[in-house]
Amino acid sequence: MKIAIDGTAASGKGTLARRLAAELGLPYLDTGLIYRSLAFRLIEDGGDLSDEAAAAGAARALSAEDCSDRPALRTEAVGRAASSVSAFPQVREALLAFQRDFAARPGGAVLDGRDIGTVVLPDADVKFFVTASLRERARRRAGDLGLSGDKDIAAVGEELRARDERDMARTHAPMKAADDAYVIDTTRLSPAEVLRTACEIVDGVS
Ligand code: C5P
């Protein structure tokens, strides 16, 4: 079973993807982490984030170790840089085969990102598009960063809004819900409720 999970920044799609994969005993690929790793590598190497050919070359050279999850990849600055390099068609093309190969494992996989249901796995068995109000997403992301003041939450919200806007506006593989995606609004749901909702849908499909 191939499951595609897309959605807005800090919507809870990663939490859902991880829990759903564990529940179903499937491998999980966080594709945002790949774009974050690429951006991080380019920044570290002092590269030019506006050089598409160089970014595509670095994308082809990325290893699995480069993409291992760590706090340095989770900052909003790296997310912003990831959003910038992920708009390059050559970069997306360079990373496509790896994502599709991962999903082609026997038994299937859960992938989350922005274009999984539309471009990477248009034939996925189940597609979700996860979102929540900007205010709630900002509150959650600020909480992850140890921030709670209104001004801090507003600043985080502004960063999330700008990143979503860029991800939706790009011409190549923009963030959008696939026509056949189930939309889950997590604003008023706990992670356990989101998982239950998704499991019910998966059960109904399989
Ligand atoms: O999901 P996450 O916030 O880690 O993703 C970081 C950035 O990587 C996104 O804002 C988006 O620009 C890019 N991305 C993408 N396509 C994906 C996954 C992430 O363009 N499938």
Residue 27's pLDDT is: 97
ipTM for the whole predicted complex goes beyond 0.85: yes
Residue 185 DSSP code: E
Ligand 1 centroid to residue 113 C-alpha, Å: 6
In this structure, the answer to whether residues 2 and 55 fall within a common structural domain is no
As for how many domains the chain has, the answer is 2
Lookup: tokens for 125:
């068995």
State whether residue 178 is helix, strand or coil.
coil
Task: Over range 86-113, report the average pLDDT.
Answer: 97
Give the position, in ligand 1's atom list, of the atom nearest the Cα of 31. 18
Q: CA 140 to CA 166: how far, in whole Å? A: 21
Give the position, in ligand 1's atom list, of the atom nearest the Cα of 79. 6
Distances from the Cα of 69 to the Cα of 1, 45, 56, 119, 206, angstroms = 25, 19, 21, 24, 31
In this structure, the answer to whether residues 100 and 55 fall within a common structural domain is yes
Residue 47's pLDDT is: 81
- Average predicted confidence (pLDDT) for the chain: 96
Residue ranges making up the domain that contains 11: 1-27+108-203
Q: Is the pLDDT of residue 206 over 90?
A: no
Residue 117 DSSP code: I
Ligand 1 centroid to residue 114 C-alpha, Å: 6
What global pTM score does this model have?
A: 0.96
In this structure, the answer to whether residues 49 and 133 fall within a common structural domain is no
Residues 86/35, Cβ–Cβ less than 8 Å: yes
- Known binding residue 15? Answer is yes
Single out the residue in 80, 104, 128 at which a domain terminates. Answer: 104
In this structure, the answer to whether residues 52 and 39 fall within a common structural domain is yes
In this structure, the answer to whether residues 5 and 38 fall within a common structural domain is no
In this structure, the answer to whether residues 73 and 88 fall within a common structural domain is yes
CATH of the domain at 22: 3.40.50.300
Protein residue closest via CA to atom 1 of ligand 1? 32
Task: Over range 126-154, report the average pLDDT.
Answer: 95
Assign 3-class secondary structure to 132-161: CCHHHHHHHHHHHCCCCCHHHHHHHHHHHH
In this structure, the answer to whether residues 153 and 75 fall within a common structural domain is no
Residue 167's pLDDT is: 97
Alpha helices (H) in 11-149, listed in sequence order: 13-24, 31-44, 52-61, 76-85, 89-103, 134-144
Which residue do the tokens 């059960």 mark?
Answer: 203
Residue 67 DSSP code: G
pLDDT in tens, 62-99: 998 999 999 999 988 999 999 999 999 999 999 999 99
Distances from the Cα of 77 to the Cα of 43, 83, 107, angstroms = 10, 10, 36
Task: Over range 30-37, report the average pLDDT.
Answer: 98
In this structure, the answer to whether residues 13 and 52 fall within a common structural domain is no
Quick one: pLDDT band at residue 162, thresholds 50, 70, 90?
very high
In this structure, the answer to whether residues 78 and 169 fall within a common structural domain is no
Residue 173's pLDDT is: 97
